[in-house]
Amino acid sequence: MNAKQKRLYDLKADILQGIAQPIRLQIVDTLAGGELCVCDIVTRVAAERSNVSRHLGVMLRAGILEVRREGLKMIYRLGTPCIVDFLGCIERMVCERIKSDAAILKGAKK
């Protein structure tokens, strides 16, 4: 693997790590509907503001989110909205896995 390929894999991994927490996935889902201030994100994900702010920082550094200032408020939005499509694919994979596990369990009870 050359240096350019390695860098590309590293950047992809940074993005995946940037969403690899349940609260971060909630934030992506929340922002899929449009940009919001931190106070609204905190309310919608039902978490402490300091915790949400920490996760927002990780997601900003990974390039998942963008932010702008509006007066005293920080307004966040998805940097690349196609991440919602990617997470939709993950959700379909999870549903298939649940169905498969349920079929295996049903067969094991016989």
**DSSP-derived secondary structure for the chain:** --HHHHHHHHHHHHHHHHT-SHHHHHHHHHHTT--EEHHHHHHHHT--HHHHHHHHHHHHHTTSEEEEEETTEEEEEESSTTHHHHHHHHHHHHHHHHHHHHHHHHHHT-
Question: Is there a domain that residue 42 lies in?
Answer: yes
Question: Is there a domain that residue 57 lies in?
Answer: yes
Question: Is there a domain that residue 67 lies in?
Answer: yes
Domain count, the chain: 1
CATH number of the domain residue 32 falls in: 1.10.10.10
Question: Is there a domain that residue 109 lies in?
Answer: no
Residue 28 has pLDDT above 80, yes or no: yes
This prediction has a pTM of 0.85
Report pLDDT for 109.
67
Question: Is there a domain that residue 100 lies in?
Answer: no
Report pLDDT for 26.
96
Question: Using 50, 70 and 90 to split pLDDT, how confident is the model at 107?
Answer: confident
Question: Is there a domain that residue 76 lies in?
Answer: yes
Question: Using 50, 70 and 90 to split pLDDT, how confident is the model at 80?
Answer: very high
| Domain housing 71 | 3-80
Report pLDDT for 106.
78
